């Protein structure tokens, strides 16, 4: 039982990180039908920003909790600026071009950012300090660490906050309207450029939160972490139904649990096998993903 | 009556393909103007050119004595022009109420918005009944009503309607045309009605334009157009 719970919480932690990244994929796809391949790199840049901020503030003698919060805030700001800029440079000029063009641009952006960070920083793994405050978790302390608990709690809060934002704020409503019918959104007076920029900013911010949390949990980063995490999170988004925000949350949860149980009860060698087998199965039986809409046949 | 909107020698292109040729027309305050023409004549293109979704390569769009050529769509909406587009374009996963809220996207006067929503619900009681249902679940006629109500939520001075009768049963069409007349009468909203259903459109309009292959080929009072032999043959099936 205890072993089962341990795996369950491990899966929840994994799923949380996937969710924080998958939300950016799915939101951008929902608005402009683009798979933003550079999104994993935004997550990686968030982690590097967190590392740099933690280093500076640590040397300056800031208390641990302050470093944790400021590292996340700084990473959010920096990654958001990157997300905003990438859209302006790499995607906006290609709006209205053939579908493949922005996709290729996204892959190019991803490779560029990886290499840029590798050259500017290092190609080696860098140790990442444990920023998440450590304490003994009451009652379930023997099965879940404080950092796992905080990752899960932060992710739940972020998901609730995002859902409320999309449902009730003016900008959130504009995002939904733009995702459902861009032409009509323009006709009611929504500035679609602003909505697209905001979508990149929000998605990048969430990825940055994930970047700092997971780097702190695992304890090391390099320029390549965005690629792996990005593919997994993208899988989660497709699993849940790309374009659907609750779908990305659910897809991430399922993927995290699948991997955790495959690792825990079979072998960690099979983690990816199970993850992608699950994806293939879902795509065979529900091509649009769990919560995705079947594409409407337009006459 | 004074001029509200004028298109002056407008030439609009899709890439290299020309869709409007030297289109000139004008709409006076409080009029119902109809534009009739076959499929592909350039009617929707004309509306999109007015709305700022397309910019004419040459020619000008004058609204209340100022050029709005090349202005972005949100500026045009803010200046009092709303469109009920072809195919209604309801936001399918927003509720009816949220669809109406989107119509008022650029407004900030909460009390006025609430009042206008009540007005829309009076105009279309079926929308009031189903206000919390998703737009995508409505029938075609109900969606058309929602699209009109959504446009009214912007409190337009000029309402552009693109083929509101398309795909609807005759009874529903008559109902919708009655409402269009009512909107024009009650609030003095100027109406530019684009239709393939020429018979009905010419019956409620004051003046009309006939468009063929991107050109205005005829204009007159709607009464005269209804009696015109060429119009009868080409558009009224007589
Ligand atoms: N997005 C577009 N790209 C290229 N050509 C278009 C586009 N939309 C319309 N057209 C062309 O412009 C012409 C006028 O179309 P439209 O304004 O939709 O006509 P109508 O509304 O009268 O049916 C048609 O020949 C049509 O094929
Ligand atoms: Mg048309």
Residues 6+ positions from B147 with CB-CB distance below 8 Å: B84, B85, B88, B89, B90, B164
Query: What per-residue confidence (pLDDT) applies to A136?
Result: 83
Does A299 map to a domain? no
Query: How confident is the model at residue A180, as a pLDDT?
Result: 95
Residue A215 within any structural domain of the chain: yes
CB of B92 less than 8 A from some CB of A: yes
Average pLDDT across each block of 10 residues of chain B; the chain has 238 residues. List them in order.
92 96 97 96 97 97 96 96 97 96 96 96 96 95 97 97 95 95 94 94 95 96 93 83
Residue A257 lies in a domain: yes
Tokens linked to A92: 């906006």
Using DSSP, state whether B161 is helix, strand or coil.
strand
Q: How far is A263 from chain B (nearest CA, A)?
A: 39
What residues form DSSP beta bridges with A144? none
Is residue A123 in a domain?
Answer: yes
Is B44 near ligand 1, meaning CB less than 6 Å away? Answer: yes
Measure B42 CA to ligand 1 centroid, in angstroms: 6
Across the interface, do A187 and B102 touch by the CB < 8 Å criterion? Answer: no
Q: Is residue A294 part of a domain?
A: no
For B32-43, letters b (16+ CB in 10 Å) and e give: bbbbbbeeebbb
In the prediction, which pLDDT does A59 show?
93
- State the Cα–Cα distance between residues B147 and B160, nearest whole angstrom: 11
A174 domain-assigned: yes
Q: Residue B1's pLDDT is what?
A: 67
Find the domain containing A274 and state its range.
Answer: 2-285
Q: What is the 3-state secondary structure (H, E, C) of A147-213?
A: HHHHHHHHHHHHHHHHHHHHHHCHHHHHHHHHHHCHHHHHHCCCCHHHHHHHHHHHHHHHHHHHHHH
Give, rounded to a whole angstrom, the gap between the first and last alpha carbons of chain A.
55
B78 and chain A: CB distance < 8 Å anywhere?
yes
Ligand with smallest separation from the Cα of B43: 1
Give the containing element (helix H, strand E) for B32. strand B32-37
For the whole model, what pTM was predicted? 0.92
Name the stretches of chain A with pLDDT < 70: 294-299
A219 found inside a domain: yes
Q: Is B238 in the pocket of ligand 1 (CB under 6 A)?
A: no
- Portion 11-70 of B in contact with A at CB < 8 A: 51, 53
Show Cβ contacts of residue A122 under 8 Å, excluding neighbours closer than 6 positions: A222, A223
Q: Is the CB of B210 under 6 A from ligand 1?
A: no
Domains identified in chain A, total number: 1
Domains and CATH numbers, chain B: 3-88+156-236 (3.40.50.300)
Across the interface, whether the CB atoms of B53 and A176 are under 8 A apart is answered: no
What CATH number has the domain bearing residue A9? Answer: 1.10.3470
What is the C-alpha to C-alpha distance for residues A239 and B149, in angstroms, rounded to an integer?
Answer: 38
Contact A189 B106 (CB under 8 A): yes
Does residue A16 lie within any of the structural domains? yes
């Amino acid at each position: 039982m205890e072993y089962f719970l341990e795996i369950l919480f491990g899966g929840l932690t994994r799923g949380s990180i996937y969710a924080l990244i998958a939300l950016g994929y799915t939101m951008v796809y929902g608005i402009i039908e683009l798979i933003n391949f550079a999104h994993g790199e935004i997550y990686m840049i968030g982690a590097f920003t967190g590392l740099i901020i933690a280093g500076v503030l640590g040397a300056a003698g800031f208390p641990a909790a302050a470093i944790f919060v400021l590292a996340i805030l700084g990473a959010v700001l920096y990654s958001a600026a990157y997300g905003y800029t990438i859209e302006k440079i790499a995607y906006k000029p290609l709006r209205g071009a053939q579908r493949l063009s922005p996709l290729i641009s996204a892959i190019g952006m991803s490779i560029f950012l990886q290499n840029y960070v590798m050259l500017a920083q290092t190609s080696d793994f860098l140790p990442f300090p444990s920023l998440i405050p450590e304490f003994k978790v009451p009652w379930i302390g023997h099965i879940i660490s404080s950092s796992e608990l905080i990752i899960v709690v932060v992710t739940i809060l972020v998901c609730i906050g995002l859902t409320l934002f999309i449902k009730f704020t003016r900008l959130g409503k504009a995002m939904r309207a733009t995702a459902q019918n861009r032409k009509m959104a323009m006709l009611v007076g929504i500035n679609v450029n602003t909505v697209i920029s905001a979508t990149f900013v929000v998605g990048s911010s969430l990825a940055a939160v994930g970047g700092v949390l997971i780097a702190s949990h695992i304890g090391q980063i390099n320029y390549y972490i965005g690629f792996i995490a990005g593919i997994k999170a993208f899988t989660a988004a497709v699993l849940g139904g790309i374009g659907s925000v609750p779908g990305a949350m659910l897809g991430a949860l399922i993927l995290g649990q699948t991997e955790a149980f495959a690792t825990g009860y079979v072998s960690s060698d099979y983690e990816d096998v199970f993850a992608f087998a699950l994806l293939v199965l879902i795509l065979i039986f529900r091509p649009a993903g769990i919560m995705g809409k079947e594409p409407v046949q337009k006459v | 009556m004074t001029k509200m909107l004028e298109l002056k020698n407008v030439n609009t292109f899709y890439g290299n393909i020309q869709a409007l040729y030297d289109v000139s027309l004008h709409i006076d305050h409080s009029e119902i103007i109809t534009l009739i023409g076959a499929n592909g004549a350039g009617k929707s293109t004309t509306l999109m050119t007015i709305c700022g979704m397309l910019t004419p390569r040459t020619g000008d769009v004058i609204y209340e004595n100022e050029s709005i050529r090349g202005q972005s769509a949100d500026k045009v909406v803010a200046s009092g022009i709303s469109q009920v587009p072809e195919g209604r374009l309801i936001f399918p996963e927003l509720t009816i109420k949220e669809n109406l809220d989107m119509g008022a996207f650029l407004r900030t006067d909460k009390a006025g918005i609430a009042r206008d929503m009540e007005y829309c619900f009076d105009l279309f009681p079926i929308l009031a009944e189903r206000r919390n249902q998703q737009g995508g679940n409505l029938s075609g006629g109900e969606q058309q009503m929602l699209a009109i109500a959504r446009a009214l939520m912007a409190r337009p001075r000029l309402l552009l309607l693109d083929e509101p009768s398309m795909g609807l049963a005759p009874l529903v069409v008559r109902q919708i045309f009655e409402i269009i007349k009512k909107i024009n009468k009650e609030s003095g909203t100027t109406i530019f009605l684009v239709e393939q259903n020429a018979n009905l459109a010419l019956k409620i309009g004051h003046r009309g334009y006939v468009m063929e292959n991107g050109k205005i080929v005829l204009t007159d009072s709607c009464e005269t157009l209804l009696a015109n032999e060429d119009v009868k043959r080409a558009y009224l099936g007589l």
